[in-house]
């Protein structure tokens, strides 16, 4: 999963860089404007590093039920800070107006809107994904209850829930693509994709928590340590 996300980030960045070089106004504005997609990613790295202190110092986890809450707050704060920093960045480096192809004329505000739609779209997709996959919420508990009546019920219910869980994320992604394309053409779509991946560092830190703990538990079990270690 991590390599897939990194691949998506690289592809979105390359797409935005290639498309931006088709605008004479961006080229004339200098390297700062051309490298705007990379600057978005750079801000995301620093913002994610800062928000990591929420889980370690400012809002430490004191009991098991706090883990999911802290991670959600961390993702929300990272998205908020990214939104706040992207607007002044766009105003500082992008020209007042620039043409993307023959049909679209964009501004720093429209570029900011594209990135913001991606940022908040990614945040909401994360929340929806947690709702449909966390044992703390109804969907997963209903799947567990379906197992009591047999494997067939479990498979049918699980497939139905999987199809249902994709509705909201697909809708959010469609809205982001629509807003991005009608704001700045394919450049706007690429910026929206970068917005989705703007808080990648935070999301990856959350995702790798599970495999690391599983590996540690497996090592403890192979070493025949007491059950409480596991």
Q: What is the mean pLDDT of the chain?
A: 85
Confidence check: pLDDT of 164 > 60: yes
Q: Which residue ranges make up each domain of the chain?
A: 2-203
The pLDDT, as a whole number, for residue 137 is 84
Name 185's Cβ contacts closer than 8 Å, sequence gap at least 6: 19, 100, 101, 103, 104, 106
- Which token pair is 212? 């690391």
Distance CA 187, CA 16 (A): 6
* Bridge partners (DSSP) listed for residue 99: 105
The pLDDT, as a whole number, for residue 84 is 93
């Amino acid at each position: 999963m991590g390599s897939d996300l990194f691949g998506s980030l690289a592809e979105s960045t390359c797409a935005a860089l290639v498309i931006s070089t088709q605008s004479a106004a961006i080229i004339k504005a200098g390297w700062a404007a051309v490298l705007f997609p990379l600057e978005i990613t750079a801000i995301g790295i620093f913002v994610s590093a800062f928000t990591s202190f929420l889980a370690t110092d400012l809002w430490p986890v004191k009991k098991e039920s706090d883990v999911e809450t802290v991670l959600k707050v961390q993702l929300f704060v990272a998205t908020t800070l990214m939104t706040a920093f992207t607007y002044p960045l766009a105003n500082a480096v992008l020209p007042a107006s620039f043409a993307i192809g023959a049909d679209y004329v964009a501004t720093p505000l429209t570029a900011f809107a594209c990135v913001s739609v991606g940022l908040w779209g990614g945040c909401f997709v994360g929340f929806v994904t947690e709702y449909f996959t966390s044992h703390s919420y109804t969907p997963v508990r209903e799947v567990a209850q379906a197992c009591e009546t047999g494997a067939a019920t479990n498979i049918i219910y699980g497939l139905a829930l999987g199809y249902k869980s994709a509705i909201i994320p697909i809708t959010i992604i469609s809205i982001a693509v629509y807003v991005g394309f009608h704001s700045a053409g394919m450049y706007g779509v690429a910026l929206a994709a970068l917005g989705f991946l703007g808080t990648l560092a935070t999301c990856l830190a959350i995702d790798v928590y599970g495999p690391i703990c599983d590996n540690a538990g497996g090592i403890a079990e192979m070493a025949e340590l007491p059950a409480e270690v596991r």
